[in-house]
Amino acid sequence: MAAYSIRCGGLFRSVINAKIRPSTCNAWFGTLQENGPETGQPSKPASAFIMFFRDNFSSIKENNPGEKIPVLSKLAGEMWRKLPDSERQKYLKMGQNAMDNYSEKLKTYTEGLSSEQLEEMKLNAWRTREEKKIKKAYQMALSKHPMPKRPKPALWVYGETVDGKNCTLQELNQKVRSGWQQLSYAEKENYVADYEEKMKQWKADFGLWVQDMVLDGNSDFITTHELKQELQRMGMPKRPMSSFMLYSKASRSDQGSMSIAEFSKELASKWKQMSDEEEQVYSEESKRLWDNYEKDVSNWKARLSEQELAFSDLAPKVISGTLDREIKAAEQMIEKEKQKAKMTKEKEKARLAKEKEKEKLAKQKEKAKLARLKAEEKFTKQKAKEYEKMAKQMKKENEKIAKQWKK
């Protein structure tokens, strides 16, 4: 999820499902209206496929009556893939011309902007990309976990049975209301009982959907209120009051004509000035309530299924925001481990390089030593040959001298 995003739950879902006006949503970057292109900024042109879809939309709709836009888009995609190259090139050329025209207009537009406006333009473009990412993430989550459809109210179901031909919306509304008032109690009760039965089933299905979304890592699309409602539906014991809240409840009769803010400020002041003996009464009562609460929670969790137990552990962390902090801490820990592993790897690499260099030097020394020994051996052999030659010469000379003396 983008760093700019804020958990917005139902309001976000209403926006991307086009149930409410985008300008009313402060779901993630402020209002969507504020994140649109600035006045005068050229809009990006449609792609070649969109141009083809627009030209053939009427015929596709006539051949497939009653089908919705997603189905028609899929059919158009199949037609686009089977389109002859000559026809396809025509739309591709139109798309390229439109993009070239857009580039020229955008260049002219940006030339007249200040550096601050250019930065704001880049920021808006980044926000638009992030919005698309968030929408895509939500739609992927919904494709995996379809949201149960809320049942229609009793009055709405009755209104569908009323003939609204040749009536304006206001006239139809009046007709439905007057017809509903004329129904007998038993007839109304049938509609109400059917709605309540469907609503009961929907609440159970919606609760399971909330559990699946949270456990699958999509808690950003679930509101805090929905999480609390599901925990309440599962029967989670209510948290007890703190010692100060017990004191506030006991002192509520002393409020008189004071406003809640003034009374709360006065209670806080009295609480600070309270003696240890008086405060201990409320502290002991709070401790007793908390001990009972922990026992109730333990007994409650023992009755839960495996999925409900996992949800009951995760949902309070999402509500309090500790899950985000834990995820951030885990990411920081992972990053530290990565850095540590990287440094260890670099040290090991340096150590291996040092050992390799040391081994290389040792080999060079060994090689030099062998070369020296070889040179010494060669020198010794040469000297030996020279001595042998000299000895032979001396022997010959001695023999010659000996012969001369004999004569």
Q: What is the full DSSP assignment across 236-276?
A: PPPPPPPHHHHHHHHTGGG-TT--HHHHHHHHHHHHHH--H
Task: Name, in order, each residue with C-beta under 8 angstroms of 67's C-beta and a sequence gap of 6 or more.
Answer: 61, 75
Please name each of the domains of the chain with its CATH number: 147-234 (1.10.30.10)
Tens place of pLDDT per residue across the chain (407 aa): 333 333 444 445 554 444 433 333 344 434 344 444 445 778 888 899 999 998 998 888 888 887 888 888 889 999 999 989 888 999 999 999 999 998 888 888 888 788 888 888 888 888 888 888 888 888 888 889 999 999 999 999 999 888 878 888 888 889 899 999 999 999 999 999 999 999 999 999 999 999 999 999 888 888 888 999 999 999 999 989 999 898 888 888 877 788 888 888 888 888 888 888 888 988 999 999 999 999 999 999 999 999 999 999 999 988 888 887 888 888 889 999 999 999 999 999 999 999 999 999 999 999 988 988 888 888 888 888 888 888 888 888 888 887 787 76
- 3-state DSSP call for residue 44? coil
CB count, 10 Å around CB of 379?
10
CB count, 10 Å around CB of 373?
10
Q: Do residues 38 and 50 touch, judged by C-beta distance below 8 A?
A: no
Q: Do residues 148 and 209 touch, judged by C-beta distance below 8 A?
A: yes
Where in 15-72 does DSSP place strands (E)? none
Task: Name, in order, each residue with C-beta under 8 angstroms of 240's C-beta and a sequence gap of 6 or more.
Answer: 286, 289, 290, 292, 293
Burial of 34 (0-12, 13-18, 19+ CB in 10 A): exposed
Instruction: Tell me which DSSP letter residue 149 carries.
Output: P
Q: Measured between alpha carbons, how far apart are the two ends of the chain, in Å?
A: 121
- 3-state DSSP call for residue 51? helix
Q: Do residues 28 and 134 touch, judged by C-beta distance below 8 A?
A: yes
How far lies 402's CA from each of 387, 389, 392, 406, in Å? 22, 20, 15, 6
